[in-house]
Amino acid sequence: MSVLALDAGTTGVTALAVEQDGQVSARGYCEFPQHYPRPGWVEHDPDEIWQAMLAATSGALSGARTPPVALGIANQRETAVLWRREDLTAPRRAVVWQDRRSTALCESLRLAGHEPAVTARTGLRLDPYFTGTTLRWLAENDPAIWDGVRSGETAIGTVDAYLIARLTGGARHVTDPSNASRTLLYDIHHDSWNDSLCDLFGTPRAALPEVVDSSGVCGYTAPEAFGGLSLPIAGIAGDQQAALFGQACFDAGQSKCTYGTGSFLLVNTGRTAQTSGRGLLTTIAWRCGGVTTYAMEGSVFVTGAAVQWLRDGLGVIPTADAVEALATSVPDSGGVVFVPALTGLGAPEWDPDARGAVFGLTRGSTAAHLARATLEAIAYEVRDVVDVLPVPVHELTVDGAAAANDLLCALQADQLAVPVRRPRILDTTALGAAFLAGLAVGVWADLDSLRATWLLDREFIPAPGRRDDGGHARWRDAVRRSRGWATPDRPGLPGA
């Protein structure tokens, strides 16, 4: 028997058929369009996510070794989705976690003194990254649609809640604590929606989903909606928490870094909601059997997306995979430093007004130098997060599509001065969703049986002296120069 796992990411949907031995017997993938209606705005069409999910699922099911007995879902977090309860259609495009439109609103709330209370309850910051700020922006700027939310005709949720509504034919409106804890509306200490936070962000509590355990049957797929299948939906988690689970980081102190659209480093802190005060977030990792596990997180907004920009925006590489060969063709970046703040900066700076910048260009600079500077930037961004962690990192397990890049992993090991360990299965986000679902229905008996499935692909050992070769100092100077670039007092720029 197998578990069907869906990872509804920011740029596409991955579907895996995960067998009882923890191996992937089949995989499907389908990208969906990104919409940029204005500078700094990022949107997704919910139906395009749904269609991509169906296409990816078809690919995985067609090659699965055994029939699935359960479904697990991981998803891009913080993205705000609205849909009509009656027919499950979306009245507007979803606002993606990368979107910056609520920057001014966040600053207003911060100046009004709300941030300390918000952080105390949620473990988060006032930033456009999180769902609550988007929802208040919609309430203030899209009143016709918000009338449907107030009347109860329109439901609100993150991508997981939307997909489950579609999968169940509208029978279930649910999410899990790992997703709810990213909305600014959820008290992570009491594990429940908070009325004061809902009032602050103008969101009717009745429009929000029911919060269920991350591992446990919460509904069944409707055959007419899901290719004739009636499967228990038994695992739900935000993508980064799912990857932590998929990396078998079940114990306090264990950590992982996922290199996807962005990079996200999470440390399991057990049953303690530990805070740092240095730009890191406190979040719920998962809730299983009514027991909540917490994590500390460093969120980097643009890493893999920077490689996509090289491919789609500049056309310097034909495919994302080609960046390694191009970057390896030169011994270093030739003095080029790239700050990929294409949607602002996350941890540890948290500057939504930062913008991407390239420094150090000369007549001798080439596309290869920019490609290498891009991979170096990813390694520097993750180092910046590790440097502010209150706990030491003795080794780093990595996953995500970009972790297949040997040069990136080597650069990361050099910058952290610790070994970087890459598992054989890099789709650990979807794998974590499968593990959560499989535990709920008995495919795996316990956490020890899941630990036994983790297999090492390669370990990258840091080269002596590389950490302090001056590259990181140049990077920090470049980050400083990129900050505040989109502020309204800069004439000719968005928002001016």
We report the CATH number of the domain holding residue 157 as: 3.30.420.40
pLDDT for the residue numbered 61: 92
- Which helix (H) or strand (E) is 264 found in, with range? strand 263-270
Gap between the Cα atoms of 213 and 284, Å rounded: 12
Range from 105-114, 370-379, 383-392 carrying the lowest mean pLDDT: 383-392
Gap between the Cα atoms of 417 and 464, Å rounded: 8
Q: Is 288 inside any structural domain?
A: no
Is the distance from CB of 25 to CB of 63 less than 8 angstroms? yes
Q: At residue 493, does pLDDT exceed 70?
A: no
Q: Is 323 inside any structural domain?
A: no
Q: Is 459 inside any structural domain?
A: no
Q: Is the C-alpha dihedral spanning 108, 109, 114, 119 positive or negative? A: negative
Q: Is 39 inside any structural domain?
A: yes
pLDDT for the residue numbered 391: 82
Q: At residue 63, does pLDDT exceed 90?
A: no
Cis peptide before 348 (omega within 30 of 0): yes
Q: Is 299 inside any structural domain?
A: no
- The DSSP secondary-structure symbol of 93 reads P
Q: Is 331 inside any structural domain?
A: no
pLDDT for the residue numbered 488: 56
Residue 18 region, left (φ>0) first, then alpha (ψ -120 to 50), else beta?
A: beta
Is the distance from CB of 10 to CB of 97 less than 8 angstroms? yes
Beta strands 337-339 and 291-300 are unpaired
pLDDT for the residue numbered 291: 95
Gap between the Cα atoms of 170 and 162, Å rounded: 9
User: Domain limits at 148?
Assistant: 2-247
Residue 227: partners with Cβ closer than 8 Å, 6 or more residues away: 54, 57, 58, 61
In degrees and rounded to multiples of 5, residue 370 shows phi and psi of -65, -40
Q: Number of structural domains, the chain?
A: 1
- Confidence at 289, pLDDT banded by 50, 70, 90: very high
Q: At residue 301, does pLDDT exceed 90?
A: no
Beta strands 174-175 and 210-211 are parallel
Gap between the Cα atoms of 216 and 278, Å rounded: 35
Tell me the three state secondary structure of residue 184: coil
Q: At residue 309, does pLDDT exceed 60?
A: yes
Average pLDDT, the chain: 93
**CA torsion, ordered 429, 248, 346, 406, to nearest 10 deg:** -80
Q: Is 147 inside any structural domain?
A: yes
In degrees and rounded to multiples of 5, residue 349 shows phi and psi of -80, -40
Residue 208: partners with Cβ closer than 8 Å, 6 or more residues away: 156, 157, 185, 193, 198
In the chain, pLDDT over 70 holds for what percent of residues?
Answer: 98
**Tokens standing for 72?**
């697990």
In the numeric block, the tokens 């991350």 are attached to 214
Q: At residue 457, does pLDDT exceed 50?
A: yes
Q: At residue 82, does pLDDT exceed 50?
A: yes
Q: Is 110 inside any structural domain?
A: yes
Per residue in 66-75, pLDDT (tens digit) is 999 999 999 9
Is the distance from CB of 275 to CB of 388 less than 8 angstroms? no
Per residue in 210-235, pLDDT (tens digit) is 999 999 999 999 999 998 999 999 99
Q: How far is CA 390 from CA 133, 253, 298, 420, 459, in A?
A: 28, 11, 12, 19, 25
- Confidence at 489, pLDDT banded by 50, 70, 90: low
Which residues make beta-bridge pairs with 294? 270, 284
Gap between the Cα atoms of 163 and 103, Å rounded: 28
Q: How far is CA 325 from CA 90, 255, 320, 369, in A?
A: 42, 29, 10, 12
Which residues make beta-bridge pairs with 6? 15, 73
What's the mean pLDDT in 471-488?
Answer: 90
pLDDT for the residue numbered 262: 86
Gap between the Cα atoms of 82 and 93, Å rounded: 8
Q: How far is CA 445 from CA 18, 20, 65, 273, 436, in A?
A: 15, 10, 21, 27, 11
Gap between the Cα atoms of 213 and 222, Å rounded: 21
